[in-house]
Amino acid sequence: MKLQGRAALITGAGSGIGRATAELFASEGAGVAILDRDASAAGATASAISATGAEAHPVVADVSSSEEISHAVASATRLLGRLDIVYNNAGVGSTGSVVDATEEDWDRCFAVNAKGTYLTSQAAIPHLEAAGGGSIINQASVAALVGIQGFAAYCAAKGAVVSLTRAMAIDLAPMGIRVNALCPGTVYTPLMEPLMRERGGGSIERGLEITAAKYPIGRLGTPVEIANAALFLASDAASFVTGTVFTVDGGMTAQ
């Protein structure tokens, strides 16, 4: 029970890594707010967690809208009674190199991945401070650390998340709020489908094989392996950890 009595807001928790993290945090004693722009996905995650007897509330908002996210963070805090942990996990992919990525893709990628992290954190900080401090985890990616072919806007937006994390860690340390970036390697979720299909010349299976070969560990990651890293950063076990970039990638960026 590493998060007993804590309250956590997880964005993009209707699917993939966010859902696995919400389930893990709840099993470790936290009350969780399941924020997603997809109402039925948020509801499904919250119902599955509530069925285990843990506290979970679905909250619907688009993290790139300052109005929606400020209401959603306030409502999540009211429902949970406090706020100690924020996992800025919601994100979207984008395919295309700098030659062919569209301006629309670039703007959407930055609006959700980078601006969404800033807006959600800004709305949450007064509540974290009121709780006496807390932990913010910003979901970056190995795409922030190395170039990935055909993924230009995504690499740039996740790079922005890493830089924002360092600035936030310094600004928020006096408030007792730790801020860290998490850089997962590839985990097969709905977000990765377009990239896998493109990489596999139309075959997702082939794309997955080609991708796994880039990983020294010989396979992709799983959502729960990323959730375990988020759990460490959220918990008191990481009480002296702030401003860091925590890579969980089966050795991909060590090459």
Binding residues for ligand NAD (CB under 6 A): 11-12, 14-18, 36-38, 41, 62-64, 89-92, 112, 116, 139, 141, 184, 186-187, 189-192
Smallest separation (angstroms) from ligand NAD to the CB of 62 = 4
Smallest separation (angstroms) from ligand NAD to the CB of 236 = 24
Smallest separation (angstroms) from ligand NAD to the CB of 150 = 14
Please give the radius of gyration of the chain, using alpha carbons only, rounded to the nearest integer: 17
CA 132/CA 7 separation, integer angstroms = 13
Smallest separation (angstroms) from ligand NAD to the CB of 35 = 6
Which amino acid is residue 151, in one-letter code? F
Q: Give whichever of 34 and 177 is closer to ligand NAD, judged by the CB atom.
A: 34
Burial class (CB in 10 A: 0-12, 13-18, 19+), 201: exposed
Residue 188 among the catalytic residues:
no
Q: Give whichever of 132 and 209 is closer to ligand NAD, judged by the CB atom.
A: 209
Calculate the alpha carbon distances from 243 to 102, 172, 246 in Å: 32, 10, 10
Residue 21: closest CA among 32, 37, 36: 32
Which amino acid is residue 213, in one-letter code? A
Smallest separation (angstroms) from ligand NAD to the CB of 145 = 11
Q: Are 33 and 89 within 8 A, CB to CB? A: no
Q: Give whichever of 175 and 204 is closer to ligand NAD, judged by the CB atom.
A: 204
Q: Which two tokens stand for residue 119?
A: 């807006």
Q: Give whichever of 77 and 186 is closer to ligand NAD, judged by the CB atom.
A: 186
Q: Which of 87, 154, 188, 215 is catalytic?
A: 154
CA angle 64-185-100, nearest 5°? 60
Kindly report the three-state secondary structure assignment for every residue of 148-183.
CCCEHHHHHHHHHHHHHHHHHHHHHHHHCEEEEEEE
Q: Give whichever of 121 and 189 is closer to ligand NAD, judged by the CB atom.
A: 189
Would you name the residues annotated as active-site residues? 154
